[in-house]
Chain A
C-alpha cells in the first residue's frame, strides 16, 4: 500500500488502475447494487472493462484532447467511462444528471464534447435534442437499453456492443492500449468539472492529473486512509467532491466504492454498506437527525427515557471521549453502556456505525447538529474546499474540531489573507485554467499560482484555524472601521430553531441591527406549549413574549460575538421581528432561498431607518404577492427592541498584530 502512495510514476488514473489490477487483482474495486444484490468487480475485472471500453471509444475516433461527456447516476460503467477516456488522453466531462436540456446544451457546446456517454433513455433523449444544435457531438453511447430499442440512429451505440467492438480492436492492435496509457503524464488534463454557476454561466474548471492525484494522495496521508475503506458514491458525479472521494482517492488508496441501487434507496444502501469514510452536506446530517428525533417521539415511554438519559450523557462526555480527553471512570463506563444500548444501534440505523471519518462542507452546520454526531462517537469534521483546487484547502485536524472554523491548511496548501480580508491559497491542486475563458482565469489565479477564493475569513488567534465569515463582496465596515460580516452573524442567529431568517444591517453605520423572521412552526409550537394565544403570523410576531424569546437568541449571539476580537463590535444593538415571512414571490429571497439583502433594505427602508432612529415602534405598509399572483397590502405596527450588548473580552488583536 504505502509503496503505491510513494510511487511518483503512477501519475495518471489509468496507470493507477493497472497497478492495482496487477498487484491487488482480487480486491474489490467497485460495487453496485443490482437486482437486489451487491455485485462486485475486482480491480482486474474493472481494468478489463475499462480497456475494452477505451478501445471501443478509440474505434469511434476519440483521441487525445477530445472530450467525452458523462451523464447519469453513480454507476460503475460511468466511472469506467472516465478512466477509459483518460486512458486515451481524452478528457471526461461529467454533467449533472438532473440538469434540463438547455443547461446541458451550454456545457456540451462550451466543452466541445465529441462523444456523450449517457446512462439511460432520459439522458439520451436530452443529448439527442441538443445534438441538433451542437453538431460537434458525433456519437452517443448508452448504458441501459430500456426504451431505446426503437432508436435506429447510426451514431447511437450500446455500451456492451461498443465494448465488444473494443475487444476486437484490441485483438488487432494488442499494443495500442498500453501505449496510450504510457503516453499519459501528470501534466496532462485529467478532467473538466463545470462549476454550478450561481453567478453567470457555468465555467469549466480544467484539472490536470497532478492536481487530482497529488491532492487525493495528500488527503489520504493526512487522514491515514487505507485500502480497506468503504465509500458510498451517491453525490452527483459532476461535483468535484464525488470525483475526489469516490474516484481519485479510490484509485490512489485502492479502496472499494459502492454505487447505490438508485436515488431513492440511498439511505438503505448506506446502512448495508456501512461506509468507513463518508461525506455529506450539512443538509443531509440535519435530515438524518430530524428523522431520528421524529421516530423517537413515537417510541414507547421507556425507550424515550433511556434515549434521553444516554443522549444527555453523550452530550456531556461524548465529544471529550472522541477528542481523547480524559473523563472520570464512572462517565467512561456509563458511555460504554450507552454505546451498547443507544449509540451503537442508533449509528447502525443511520448507517454510520463503521464510520471512522465523516466530512461535511458547503455551508455552515449548526453546532448542535455537529455536536450530536460527535457525541455519538462519529468523527465528523468540516473541510473547506473549492472545485478550483480539487477540494482541499483546509481540514479540521482530529481532536481540534470546532463548529465555527474549517480547520488548518491541508498538506502542501499555503493560505494568505489579503488586505480586504479575502482568502487566497496556493497548492498542488490549483487548477490549470477555466476552459476557453482566459479573462476569468486571469482574474481568479495570478502568475504566482495564488487563487482568490471570493470568501472572506481570518485565522482564529486561539487555535490557528481558518474561519470563513462571508463572501468577500458582502463584507463591509462599520463606521469605526471594524469588519462587518453579515452572513456570519445571520448564520449564528439561524442556528436557533426559532429564527427562520435574519437580515443584518451595519455596513457604513455606527452599529449593527437585524431583521428577524420567526419560524412559524417552532415559535407556534412554543406558543402553544406556553398557553400563548395568537391569531396568525403577524399577531404572533408582535407578541411581547416572542420578542423576549428572540431577544434571548440575539443576546446569546452577542455574548458569543463579544469573545471574537474582530467581530465583537458587530454585536446587534437593535432588532425587530418582521411582520411577514420573507418570500421568493415578493423578490425578497432568491429561488434557492438566499436573502437578497439590498432589495430587502430598499423595500423596508422605513424599518431600517427606525432601527437607527431610536423610536420603539413603526407603522409599515407592505405590498405582498399571493400564490395566485394577485397582490394585496399588509399593514402592521412593528416594535423595535434593544438587545443586550456585552463588553469585548480582552482583545487579543493587538497582541496578534
Chain B
C-alpha cells in the first residue's frame, strides 16, 4: 500500500480544560485531527477519553480552551451544530432504538438530510416520497457496506451485541459525516468481531475518506489502525505522535503498566 497522505487540519482543540466541580477531568489538552486520518485517543480507565469526545461534539462545555472545526473557532461546540456540520458519533453504551428494525435505526441517521416536514412525510406524497426513496437507497448502501442484509428487518434489541455495534456504526455513517467519533467500538467484542470492526473502520476511511477519531482500549487494535495517537491519563496529555513513538514513550508505558512504588 502506498504511503498515506492527509489533508488540512479538520479539527483542532487548544488548551481544553474541563471540570465538574472540583474534579478536573481534562487539563490543558491540545491536539489536532487532519482530514482523512484515523486518530486515536487512548488512556487507562478514567483518563478522560469519553469526556474529550463529548467536548468535541458539544455535549460537554469546557471551562477553558477553544475548538476549531473546519476553520471556525468556537469556545464551545453545540451538539446540533456539531451534527449539522458533519460530526457523527457512536456511543460506548449502545444507544439505538431497541424496538425498531436495523433499517429504521439507520434511517434515523438520515434525519438531518431530510428537508420535507413531518406533514408531507406523514402523507408520503410528492417530494416527501421522493426523498424517502433517496434516503432509503442511502441506507441500503450502508447495509450493503456493513454486510448486515440478513438483519435488515430484525428488531435491533434482539440482535447480538457485536451486530448492534455494527448497526450503531451504520446509523452514524448514514449522516455522511466528515468526522466520525467512535467511542470504544470494540468494547466487549470477541477477537473475530474486533477483526470485522477494524476492517469496517479501515473501509469507511478508505472508501468514503471519512476522518475518524477513535477511542479504544485494545492497544493492539489501536496501534494497527491509527495514523496518530493521543494518550491521556488522569485528564493530562501524556503523549501525542505516531503509534510507534507512543508505544516506546516511557510515560505511556508507566501509565499503562504502573510504576513500582518503593
Contacts and interface: CB of A to CB of B under 8 A. Distances in A.
A146 B152 contact: no
Interface stretch (A177-185, A261-269, A399-407, A432-440): A261-269
A147 B201 CA distance: 12
Contact of B143 (A36, A147, A150, A268): A36
B203 interface: yes
Interface string A581-618: 00000000000000000000000000000000000000
Contacts, number: 35
Contacts of A261: 149-150
B2 A150 contact: yes
B158 interface: no
A149 interface: yes
A264 B141 CA distance: 17
**Size class of B's contact patch?**
10 to 19
Interface in A229-265: 261-262, 264-265
Interface string A461-491: 0000000000000000000000000000000
A100 interface: no
B203 A146 contact: yes
A146 B204 CA distance: 10
A35 interface: yes
B143 to A, nearest CB: 7
B150 A262 contact: yes
Contacts of B152: 36
A35 B206 contact: no
A262 B149 contact: yes
Contacts of B147: 262
Given A262-B149, A265-B149, A36 B140 contact: yes
A37 B145 CA distance: 15
Contacts of A146: 145, 203, 207
A35 B140 CA distance: 5
A48 B103 CA distance: 34
Interface string A132-166: 00000000000000110110100000000000000
Contacts of B145: 146
A35 B137 contact: yes
B201 to A, nearest CB: 13
Interface in B201-248: 203, 206-207
Nearest to B148: A264
B144 interface: yes
Given A261-B149, A265-B150, A35 B203 contact: no
Contact of A149 (B136, B140, B149, B206): B206
B137 to A, nearest CB: 6
A262 B207 CA distance: 21
A37 B136 CA distance: 11
Contacts of A147: 203, 206-207
Contacts of A34: 144
A261 B136 CA distance: 17
A33 to B, nearest CB: 8
A35 B203 CA distance: 18
Interface string A25-64: 0000000001111000000000000000000000000000
B47 to A, nearest CB: 33
A48 to B, nearest CB: 25
Interface in B131-147: 136-137, 140-141, 143-145, 147
A36 B137 CA distance: 9
A150 B206 contact: yes
A264 B203 contact: no
Contacts of A152: 2
A35 B150 contact: no
Nearest to B103: A36
B122 interface: no
B144 to A, nearest CB: 6
A261 B150 CA distance: 9
Contact of B141 (A35, A149, A150, A262): A35
Nearest to A144: B144
Contacts of A149: 206-207
Contacts of B136: 36
A513 B143 CA distance: 56
Contact of A36 (B149, B203, B206, B207): B149
Nearest to B143: A36
A155 B140 CA distance: 32
Interface of B: 1-2, 103, 136-137, 140-141, 143-145, 147, 149-150, 152, 203, 206-207
16 contacts: A34-B144, A35-B141, A35-B143, A35-B144, A36-B143, A36-B152, A37-B140, A146-B203, A149-B206, A149-B207, A150-B206, A152-B2, A261-B150, A262-B147, A262-B149, A264-B149
Interface of A: 34-37, 146-147, 149-150, 152, 261-262, 264-265, 268
